[in-house]
A = this chain, B = another copy of it.
Amino acid sequence: MKKDSKYQSGCPVAYGLEVFGDRWSLLVIRDMAVKGAKTYGELLDGWEGISTNILAQRLKQLEEAGILVKTQDPDNRRSFLYSLTPKGRDLAPVLAEIALWSAKYNEAGHAMTGFSDKVQMDRERVVSRIRKGELP
């Protein structure tokens, strides 16, 4: 999708969107930051159903962008562990603000997640926890 994209404008918003501004990247980051997903399989079984080829592609891009790192699972040699870097965890405020906005405007209500509630209760705490590598 985003190679070394020609969309370079110098705008900070555009820079961010180059890195994670597609339909899936932020959802992968959310699964890791909010749900604590660590393996390929866990990410594949996320709430929205990303397809396997797209997931593989995004993981590679996000790794190249320094958002996450891939390591061998010490307990299972056929498994890898994905984890967010500080750069990736620093996207917590972005996730939080999107959740706050959605909580305000999504009439349908948001089931299956206490994330919105937690952020509404104490945004700083949630952001701080994610930044430290903990679950919200």
Complex alpha-carbon distance, A27 and B112, angstroms: 30
Chain A interface mostly: helix
Q: How far is the CB of A16 from chain B (nearest CB, A)?
A: 4
Minimum C-beta distance from A31 to chain B (A): 10
> CA of A10 to CA of B9 in the docked complex: distance in angstroms?
34
| CB–CB B98/A13 < 8 A | yes
Asked if A135 CB lies within 8 Å of chain B CBs, one says no
Given contacts A23-B22, A94-B94, contact A48 B14 (CB under 8 A): yes
Minimum C-beta distance from A83 to chain B (A) = 18
A74 at the B interface (CB under 8 A): no
Cross-chain contact A116 with B23 (CB below 8 angstroms):
no
| Number of residues on chain A facing chain B (CB within 8 A) | 46
Chain B positions within 8 Å of A95 at CB level: 13
A116-B12 in contact given A98-B94, A101-B90 (Cβ < 8 Å): yes
Q: A7-B48, A9-B47, A13-B95 are in contact. List 4 more A-B contacts (CB 8 A).
A: A8-B108, A10-B47, A14-B27, A21-B26
15 A-B pairs (CB sep. < 8 Å): A9-B112, A10-B113, A11-B110, A11-B112, A12-B99, A12-B116, A13-B27, A13-B34, A13-B99, A15-B102, A90-B101, A90-B104, A90-B105, A93-B100, A94-B98
